[in-house]
A and B are shown apart, each in its own frame.
Chain A
Amino acid sequence: KQEVTQIPAALSVPEGENLVLNCSFTDSAIYNLQWFRQDPGKGLTSLLLIQSSQREQTSGRLNASLDKSSGRSTLYIAASQPGDSATYLCAVDKGNTPLVFGKGTRLSVIA
């Protein structure tokens, strides 16, 4: 059974810092991995989708990497801003079963 773990559970950084969020998964036979952002009391917003054949994806200040063989992904946020404060969730898709989520990392960026 696929399990997804996100470390740390919570993170607080000063504005302007670069930071890395970690995601690990137990079954490397995945189809893709997706990073989401969730603001308090809101739904999930997709940030980046990495197909299993890809190593990384970039969008603005965000960069996600995928190392399928070791079961790891990282989300790198450059020059963090208070508006980046949210919970970040990673989820893996095996292609024939629905997404499995981690519990998320709650990020606070302090001005």
Chain B
Amino acid sequence: DAMVIQNPRYQVTQFGKPVTLSCSQTLNHNVMYWYQQKSSQAPKLLFHYYDKDFNNEADTPDNFQSRRPNTSFCFLDIRSPGLGDAAMYLCATSRDRTRGYTFGSGTRLTVV
């Protein structure tokens, strides 16, 4: 089945140690998104790619970066994770925003 896959499902990292979360899709959607969701809060958009065009939300911390090497893959890099970065990270895709968004299962990040 066509889908959005996030790896790993759970990630534990040390305070200040760089970590990378990955997302892949078989939907061939041209738009990919990274959202951060903290407990009992709405998902908050960090970045999105429209094809290779990168869009950074104004309030996304500099500590967060993203890469999209091809249509299928997108990565979220956290250069120096702090305790406040512990959250669920959600990857999503859409096709020209006309047919809704498809989300992956998320990566739960714990910072120790």
Q: Which of A41, A44, A49, A91 has the most CB of B within 10 A?
A: A44
Pair count A-B, CB < 8 A: 53
CB pair A103–B42 under 8 Å, yes or no, is yes
CB pair A98–B45 under 8 Å, yes or no, is yes
Q: Can you name 4 extra interface pairs (CB under 8 A) apart from A42-B105, A44-B90?
A: A4-B42, A31-B97, A32-B98, A49-B99
The yes or no answer to A107 lying at the interface (CB within 8 A) is no
Contact (A102, B103) CB under 8 Å given A43-B6, A93-B97: no
Q: Which residues of B contact A (CB under 8 A)?
A: 6, 33, 40-43, 45, 48, 88, 90, 92, 97-106, 108
CB pair A44–B42 under 8 Å, yes or no, is no
CB pair A101–B103 under 8 Å, yes or no, is no
CB pair A46–B101 under 8 Å, yes or no, is yes
Interface residues on A, range: 20 to 34
The yes or no answer to A76 lying at the interface (CB within 8 A) is no
Closest to B41 in A: A103
